[in-house]
Amino acid sequence: MATKDVISSRSQRKWRTESDLEFTPSEDRVVHPSLLPLFIHLLPNLILSKSTGKRNLRSLYLHGVFRDRIEMLLSAQTFVGQVLVILVFVLSIGSLIIYFINSADPVGSCSSYEDKTIPIDLTFNAFFTFYFGLRFLAADDKIRFWLEMNSIVDIFTIPPTFISYYLKSNWLGLRFLRALRLLELPQILQILRATRTSNSVKISKLISIILSTWFTAAGFIHLVENSGDPWIKGRNSQTVTYFESIYLVMATTSTVGFGDVVAKTSLGRTFIMFFTLGSLVLFANYVPEMVELLVNKRKYTSSYEVLKGKKFIVVCGNITVDSVTAFLRNFLRRKSGEINTEIVFLGEVPPSLELETIFKCYMAYTTFISGSALKWEDLRRVAVESAEACLIIANPLCSDSHAEDTSNIMRVLSIKNYSPTTRVIIQILQSHNKVFLPKIPSWNWDTGDNIICFAELKLGFIAQGCLVPGLCTFLTCLFVEQNTKVCPKRPWQKIFLSSLKNKILTQRLSDDFAGMSFPEVSRFCFVKLHLMLIAIEHEFSLSSYCGLLLNPPAQVRLHKNTLGFFIAESAKDVKRAFFYCATCHSDVYSPELIGKCCCKSKNNRHFPGSRVMVKTTTAPKVFSEPELFDPFPSSHLKRISALSSTTRTFLYEDSTDSLDSTGMFHWCRATRLDKVILKRTDKAKHEFRNHIVVCIFGDAHSTLMGLRNFVMPLRASNYTRRELKDIVFVGSLDYLQREWRFLRNFPQIYILPGSALYAGDLYAVNIEECAMCAVLSSPSKSPCQTLVDTETIMATLNIGSLRISCSASTPSDPEGISQSFSGPGSSKYRRVPILTELKNPSNIHFIEQLGGMEGHFPGTSLHLSTSFSTGAVFSGSFLDSLLATAFYNYHVLELLQMLVTGGISSQMEYHLGKDKFQRLSSSFSTILSERKRCKLGLLSLHQSVLLNIEPKKIFGQVFCGLLDHFGILCLGLYRRIDDAEHKRGVC
C-alpha cells in the first residue's frame, strides 16, 4: 500500500459546544492503545443517537481519535505500517502468480475444491478485504477514497474471487489488475534498504511502470480475445494464451508488429489503437532514460587509467555547472600547446545533462568519475596517489559555510590518510576553520599544500582598498586575465586595457645578481630588462624558513638561485632575468635581445657592479633611453599619485604600543560591547574624521562573514598607532554582537546600530568626513542571482546621493583625490569615497548608472567597467581563478596573501606560531615578526617625500627616483582620467 493512500496530514478535530466543552481534545490526551476493545466500545455510540437526532459529540470525538490511530498504524513510517505495506505487496504478487497459473485454462471454467490455488487466493483476498476496511476507516475523504487506484484494484479483484468460490466457477475477469501493485516496488525497495541512491530509485520506478503496464495490457487483451465482443455473444473470440498476449503487447510497444498474433475482436483492436499511441509517449521517454541510467552507472564507476608520462590532477568537492565552468576557464586559459595536464573530476553524484555537455566540450582535458573523496576505494579508482595534486572546490553560495568547510576538511584528512605525499589545495570559506589543516600530520607547506580562504582574501582586498583607493582594482588586474576583445574610445580606456595585460610572474634570478641588494636589482631590472621586480624569496641563514619578502631593505643581499616576483606581460619576458649575463649582455640595450648565452665561465664569474648603473641621484643616461618612457603625457603628470610599497624609515611611536603574540597586529584588552556602541545623539561627542565606515547587512540568523579578516589588515603593526583609522560598523546589532567576540581585542572600533539605507544613520557617523565607506555584500539567500546584491546596490545609491562640499576635504585627501561632481549652479560637491562589494559581477550595470559617467563599455564584464577602473567596485568572484593559480605557482598565491592580509602569509603564520616559544634568529625576528615590514600607501607627487624628486615627468623617472632616494617601490598610478568629473583610475 502506498504511503499516500494511508497518510493524510490532519490535525485533531475539536468539537466545542456550550454543553460539551469537557470533551475538547488536548494534544497530550491518552487514548487506549488497544484498537479492538476501542472499536467494540465505539460500536454502540456510533449506531445509537439521541432522541433529538443529534449525534453524541463524545462518540464523534472518539471516532476521530480511532481514525487517527488507524491512520498512524497504517503509516509507512511505523514498523507495523511497513510490515503491512510489504505484506500487501507480497500477497498481491502471489495473487498475480495464481492468475498466471489459472490463465492456462479458459477465461471462465468450472472449479473444484481439489484446486489448491483457489483457497490460497481466497485467503489472500480475505486479507485484502481487511486491509481495504482499515484504509477506508483511516480515509479522510470517503468519496475520493473510492476513486483511488488501489481502491479500484481491490473493487474489481476481491468480489469476483468470493463469487467464484461460492458459485464454483473460476472466472479470471479483471484479476490482472493486481499487476498495478507493481507500481509500489520502489517504495518496498526503499523500506527494505535495497535502493539507497537516486539512480537506483529512478531505475526501480521506471521498471515498475513498464512491467505493470505490460502485464495489465496483456491481461485485458487476454480477456477480450478469449471472451469475444459481447454484442455478438462472443462469436469472434479466439484462444490466446497469456504469454501470447504479452508477446502481442511488447510487439505493439516496439511498433514492429510481426502479424503472427493479432487481435480479432473489436474491443481488442480498439484497445491496441489507443495502447499504441500511449506506448509511443510512455516508452519513448522511459526506456531511453533507463538505458542511460544503466550505461552511465557503468561509465562513471570505472577507474581512471594512469598512463606513464601523462600528468593529471583530481578535482573534488563542489562539482557543479558553475564551479566546473569557472575552474576550466581559468585552468585552461593557457595556450593549447602548453596544457599537458588532464583533469579528473571526482563527483559524489552523476553529472547532469548540462554538466555532461561541458565535459564533452572539454573531452580532451577532462574525465568524470562518480565517487567520494571520503572513501578510499574511490580514491584508489582515481589514482590520487599518482596525481600531481588534489584540488577541493568549495561552494561560496552555500547556506551553511561552517558545514561546507568541515566537509572539505574531512576530504583533506581522507586524502592525506590514503596518500600522505599527495599535494592538496583547498578552498575554505571561513578563516577560523583553516587552523585545522596545518594540524594534519602529513600537511606540508613546502611541497605545495595550500589554503585559499575566501573570507580572508575577499575582506583583505576590501580593507586594503579602504587604505589605498584603487588598490582592489590594481591587485585584481594582476591576478585576473581578460580575454574579452573591446574597442576603447577614450585615451584612459586604452591605458587601462593595456595595464590588464600585466600579471604576477615568478622567475629564478641570474646568479650574477648574487650579493646585490634588492633596490639595486629592482632598479636594474626596470631599466635594463623592462621588468618590475617587487619581491623575492629569501632564505634566512639561522632558520630553516624560506620566506617571501616584499621590497626588502638594502641590508638583505640576494643569494644564488633567488626566486623573484615580477610584474610583466608574459613568462617569456621574465626569462630575461634568468638569462642575463654581465659579460655577454652588458652592452645590449634592447631587452628583447637578451637570451641564453654560451658563456663558459658562467659558474665562476661574479657580477661586476661597475657594468650596471644602479642607484644614482640624477641618472641622466638611464632616462635618456626611449624604452623607459611611459605613455602618460606630461600634462597629466600633476594629477598622478603613486601606489607604493614604502621603506622601513618609519617614525615609531612609544614602545608601549600593544601588539599581539606574533607582533604583526595592534592589540588591546578585550573591550565590552556596550562600550563601543554609538548613539545618534553622540555625534558631537565622537567627531570622527578620516575614519572608515563599514556598512553591514545581516541579522541574528545570518552566516558570519568574518569581519576579523577585514579589521586585521587595518590594524597591521607596520602602521603606527597614530596612523590607525577609526572603524565604524553600521548594521544590525543582533549580527554585530555575534562578530564582536572576534573583534574585541582590536583598538578603535565602534558600532552604530542602524542601516546604511537611512541617511540619518550615515550622518550620525559623520560620513561626510570619512576616508572611505565600504559596503559589504549582504548574506542574501535569494535564489535570483540578480537580486543577491539588492541591499548593497540600494545602499550605494543612498550614499552616492549625499552631497558634500569640496571644502570639507579629509586629511587623507588634501588634494581632493576622492571623486567630485558639479552640482546645480556653479558650486562643486564631493562624492563620498565608496567601495562596494558585489556578489554577482553582472550587477555592475546598476553601479555604472550611479557613477554618472559616460564612456563605459556597455554589456561588458565587471573588469571592463568604469566603476571597476576607478576602484569603486570589488567582486570576489575572481577568487575562483586562484585555485588554478595555486596549482601552477603557489608562490603567487603567497604573495597575494601577504599583500592583502597585512604582510603575513599562511606559511609565515605557521612558522611564527611554531617558533612562538622558541628563540627566533635575529634576521628572522627583525624582518618578519617586528614592525619593519612594507606597507602600501597612496602618495601625492606634489606633497610628502615625492616633492623633491626631479625630474618626474614620466613613470620611469618617478620609479627610479623613489627607489634611489627612499627605497620606495612604485607599483602603479592612480591618475585622473576625467577632468570634468575629477575621477581617478588605476594604471
CB atoms within 10 A of CB 388: 15
Task: Report DSSP state, residue 445.
Answer: T
H-type alpha helices, 841-905: 844-851, 866-869, 882-888, 890-900
Evaluate whether 744 touches 676 at the Cβ level (below 8 Å): no
Sign of the Cα pseudo-torsion (900, 901, 902, 908, in order): negative
How is the beta sheet containing 424-428 ordered, strand by strand? 366-370, 341-347, 311-317, 390-393, 424-428, 450-453
Evaluate whether 156 touches 220 at the Cβ level (below 8 Å): no
**783: its cell numbers:** 535564489
Rounded Cα distance, 622 and 312, in Å: 47
Backbone angles phi, psi at 58, to 5 degrees: -65, -40
**241: its cell numbers:** 494464451
- 813 three-state secondary structure: coil
Contact residues for 28 (Cβ-Cβ < 8 A; gap 6+): none
Run of H or E including 333? none
Evaluate whether 337 touches 368 at the Cβ level (below 8 Å): no
Rounded Cα distance, 537 and 522, in Å: 14
Evaluate whether 219 touches 242 at the Cβ level (below 8 Å): yes
CB atoms within 10 A of CB 765: 28
- 965 three-state secondary structure: helix
Contact residues for 393 (Cβ-Cβ < 8 A; gap 6+): 315, 316, 317, 318, 319, 323, 327, 427, 883
Pair type for strands 546-550 and 563-568:
unpaired
C-alpha pair distances (Å), 312 with each of 304, 307, 382, 446, 662: 10, 10, 10, 20, 39
Contact residues for 903 (Cβ-Cβ < 8 A; gap 6+): 550, 664, 716, 718, 933, 934, 935
Rounded Cα distance, 800 and 870, in Å: 15
Task: Report DSSP state, residue 920.
Answer: P
H-type alpha helices, 689-786: 708-714, 733-739, 759-764
Among 404, 443, 441, 614, which Cα is nearest to 525's? Answer: 614
Distance from CA of residue 718 to its chain's centroid? Answer: 34
Rounded Cα distance, 29 and 41, in Å: 18
SS3 for 787-801 is: HCCHHHHHHHHHHHC
**717: its cell numbers:** 603593526
Sign of the Cα pseudo-torsion (753, 754, 756, 762, in order): negative
C-alpha pair distances (Å), 548 with each of 563, 706, 975: 9, 26, 30
- Where on the phi/psi map is residue 881: left (φ > 0), alpha (ψ -120 to 50), or beta? alpha
Evaluate whether 268 touches 225 at the Cβ level (below 8 Å): yes
C-alpha pair distances (Å), 31 with each of 47, 769, 814: 21, 71, 82
Q: What pLDDT does 193 receive?
A: 79
The ranges assigned to domains in the chain are: 68-296, 311-443, 673-805+829-878
Run of H or E including 874? strand 873-874
Sign of the Cα pseudo-torsion (557, 559, 565, 570, in order): positive
- What's the pTM value of the predicted model, to 2 decimals? 0.68
The torsion of the CA quartet 122, 126, 128, 130, rounded to 10 degrees, works out to 180
Task: Report DSSP state, residue 928.
Answer: I
Among 375, 428, 359, which Cα is nearest to 398's? Answer: 428
Radius of gyration of the chain (CA): 39
How many Cα atoms within 13 Å fall on the side-chain side of residue 828?
A: 13
CB atoms within 10 A of CB 486: 13
Contact residues for 964 (Cβ-Cβ < 8 A; gap 6+): 519, 523, 615, 616, 617, 619
Evaluate whether 467 touches 432 at the Cβ level (below 8 Å): no
Rounded Cα distance, 540 and 300, in Å: 49
H-type alpha helices, 510-587: 518-528, 571-579
CB atoms within 10 A of CB 205: 18
- The residues with which 685 forms a beta bridge, in sequence order, are none
Among 178, 262, 170, which Cα is nearest to 221's? Answer: 262
Q: Of the CATH numbers 3.40.50.970, 3.40.50.720, 1.10.357.10, 3.20.20.370, which one belongs to the domain with range 311-443? A: 3.40.50.720
Evaluate whether 380 touches 306 at the Cβ level (below 8 Å): no
Distance from CA of residue 309 to its chain's centroid? Answer: 33
Q: What is the mean pLDDT, run by run of 10 residues, along the chain of 987 residues? A: 39 37 38 44 45 44 57 64 83 86 70 68 86 81 83 84 74 82 85 77 83 88 84 82 86 75 86 84 75 68 86 92 86 68 90 87 89 92 93 86 92 94 92 89 88 90 89 81 63 73 88 88 89 83 64 85 88 89 81 77 42 38 35 38 45 54 82 90 76 91 87 88 92 92 92 91 89 85 73 89 63 45 48 87 74 47 75 81 84 84 62 45 45 77 72 81 84 73 68
Q: Which long-range contacts (CB under 8 A, 24 or more apart) does 982-985 make?
A: 982/816, 982/819, 982/820, 982/821, 983/819, 983/853, 983/866, 983/870, 984/469, 984/470, 984/639, 984/641, 984/817, 984/819, 984/870, 984/871, 985/470, 985/473, 985/492, 985/496, 985/869, 985/870, 985/871
Rounded Cα distance, 309 and 813, in Å: 58
Backbone angles phi, psi at 341, to 5 degrees: -120, 125
Contact residues for 548 (Cβ-Cβ < 8 A; gap 6+): 535, 536, 537, 538, 565, 891, 894, 895, 898, 905, 908
Evaluate whether 559 touches 919 at the Cβ level (below 8 Å): no
CATH number of the 673-805+829-878 domain:
3.40.50.720
- Where on the phi/psi map is residue 551: left (φ > 0), alpha (ψ -120 to 50), or beta? left
Q: What is the DSSP string of 372-429?
A: -TT-HHHHHHTTGGGSS-EEEE--TT-S-HHHHHHHHHHHHHHHHHH-TTS-EEEEES
Same fold? 311-443, 673-805+829-878: yes
350 prior amide bond cis, ω within 30: no
- Where on the phi/psi map is residue 537: left (φ > 0), alpha (ψ -120 to 50), or beta? beta
First to last CA, the chain: 72
| Longest pairwise C-alpha distance within the chain | 125
Task: Report DSSP state, residue 311.
Answer: E
Contact residues for 372 (Cβ-Cβ < 8 A; gap 6+): 316, 346, 348, 378
Among 490, 372, 349, 571, which Cα is nearest to 985's? Answer: 490
Distance from CA of residue 461 to its chain's centroid? Answer: 19
Evaluate whether 643 touches 707 at the Cβ level (below 8 Å): no
Q: Cell match 565517487: residue? A: 371
